[in-house]
């Protein structure tokens, strides 16, 4: 049996894409191999398990993986519904359902397309603190990225709110143009070195989802600063930590209080750990194991919910409500099928 975890292989502009793959790797045997998420159809067609979490997808023509590769879809984020408008891709997801969704938007899309799905949250919550740092935690760290660089006015405001200053750290990966295996290896080393740095911090401030989530998992005080706290991608974080908008930060006289819902975070973390360990032990989606009555019953529930959601959506469309919006998201071909 081969084991795989996936890494962004195309744009390579955010270390968070590597961190998501490393979150899956920690549950797999030591000989597990990284694969390019944008080229899954090129995998060897032999018995394999792929932990298939993360962001989907820039290109659609090299998906899905071969039939002998068993994907366990968990902590999935769908960036564009065009991806699931393709019937063969929908059928692939149904065959390997239920799909664990990282956020509420993806959950709604999956169920709208009739694909059994559930909210799983994100695997990057499962990182643990190494507890190797015993010194005084006095540093405030700001973690930013070329994707969404901090506006100058926000940096100036943070300087006002943090009189002792803060250290800026980049969430950019190393060279985009390295060979894939070298890119993964070098950026894995970079990611874990950043984790150790976060463990030494009094506070981490960031715009990056996959800086904030590992910090929560490791018990590190963290605040997410974001231009739009209502962004659907942030639903994974909104019930766990403080999220503050740029506008609200500009109105602050003191730095917002750090809040982490530790009991909720630990519950999610423990559930993810349980599911991943089961998947690797059984080499399949644990929800499809009929001997596990609890999980198999949940799968049946997710099937029913998705069937009802899809039927209701198509019914509303046929009555003429929200036609343009539904066609934009789901496609006319699916809605009249």
Chain segment 241-297, per-residue pLDDT in tens: 989 999 999 999 999 889 899 999 999 999 999 999 999 999 999 999 999 999 999
| Longest CA pairwise span in the chain (Å) | 65
Predicted confidence band of residue 175 (pLDDT cuts 50, 70, 90)? confident
Q: What are the helix and strand counts (H, E) for the chain? A: 13, 11
Q: Taking Cα atoms as reference points, which of 4, 6, 61, 18 lies closest to residue 188? A: 18
pLDDT at 320 over 90: no
Q: Taking Cα atoms as reference points, which of 106, 81, 97, 102 lies closest to residue 303? A: 97
Predicted confidence band of residue 177 (pLDDT cuts 50, 70, 90)? confident
Predicted confidence band of residue 150 (pLDDT cuts 50, 70, 90)? confident
pLDDT at 9 over 90: no
Starting at the edge strand that comes first in sequence, how are the strands of the sheet with 2-7 ordered?
A: 33-36, 2-7, 48-56, 69-78, 99-101, 117-119
Could you give the percent of the chain with pLDDT greater than 70?
A: 99
Task: Supply the pLDDT for residue 40.
Answer: 95
Query: Looking at 118-122, 236-240, 306-310, which range is the least confident one?
Result: 236-240
Question: Once rounded to an integer, what is the mean pLDDT over residues 56-78?
Answer: 95
Task: Supply the pLDDT for residue 137.
Answer: 81
pLDDT at 133 over 80: no
Cα distances from 106 to residues 97, 115, 220, 332, in angstroms, run 14, 11, 27, 19
Q: Give the DSSP letter of residue 253.
A: S
Task: Supply the pLDDT for residue 151.
Answer: 87
Task: Supply the pLDDT for residue 121.
Answer: 95
- Would you give the distance in Å from CA 113 to the centre of its chain? 20
Predicted confidence band of residue 197 (pLDDT cuts 50, 70, 90)? very high
The SS3 assignment for 140 reads strand
Stated pTM of the model: 0.94
Separation between Cα atoms, residue 139 and residue 213, nearest integer Å = 19
Predicted confidence band of residue 321 (pLDDT cuts 50, 70, 90)? confident
């Amino acid at each position: 049996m081969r084991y795989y975890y996936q890494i962004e292989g195309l744009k390579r502009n955010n270390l968070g894409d590597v961190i998501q793959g490393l979150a899956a790797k920690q549950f797999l045997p030591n000989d597990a191999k990284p694969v390019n998420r944008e080229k899954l159809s090129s995998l060897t067609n032999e018995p394999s398990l792929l932990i298939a979490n993360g962001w989907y997808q820039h290109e659609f023509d090299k998906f899905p993986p071969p039939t002998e590769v068993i994907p366990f879809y968990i902590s999935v984020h769908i960036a564009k519904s065009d991806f699931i408008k393709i019937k063969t891709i929908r059928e692939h997801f149904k065959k390997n359902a239920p799909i664990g969704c990282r956020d509420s938007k993806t959950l709604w899309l999956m169920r709208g397309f009739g694909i059994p799905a559930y909210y799983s949250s994100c695997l990057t919550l499962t990182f643990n603190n190494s507890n190797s740092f015993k010194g005084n935690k006095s540093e405030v760290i700001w973690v930013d990225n070329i994707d969404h660089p901090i506006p100058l006015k926000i940096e100036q405001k943070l300087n006002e709110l943090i009189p002792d200053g803060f250290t800026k750290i980049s969430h950019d990966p190393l060279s985009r143009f390295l060979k894939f295996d070298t890119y993964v290896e070098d950026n894995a080393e970079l990611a874990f070195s950043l984790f150790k740095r976060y463990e030494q911090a009094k506070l981490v401030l960031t715009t990056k989802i996959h800086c904030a989530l590992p910090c929560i998992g490791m018990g590190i005080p963290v605040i997410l600063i974001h231009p739009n706290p209502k962004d659907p991608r942030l639903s994974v974080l909104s019930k766990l930590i403080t999220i503050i908008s740029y506008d609200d930060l500009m109105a602050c006289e003191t730095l917002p209080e750090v809040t982490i819902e530790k009991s909720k975070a630990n519950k999610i973390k423990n559930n993810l750990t349980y599911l991943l360990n089961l998947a690797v032990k059984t080499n399949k989606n644990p929800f499809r194991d009929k001997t596990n009555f609890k999980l198999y019953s949940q799968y049946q529930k997710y099937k029913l919910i998705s069937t009802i959601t899809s039927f209701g959506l198509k019914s509303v469309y046929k009555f003429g409500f929200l036609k343009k919006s539904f066609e934009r998201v789901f496609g006319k071909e699916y809605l009249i099928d």
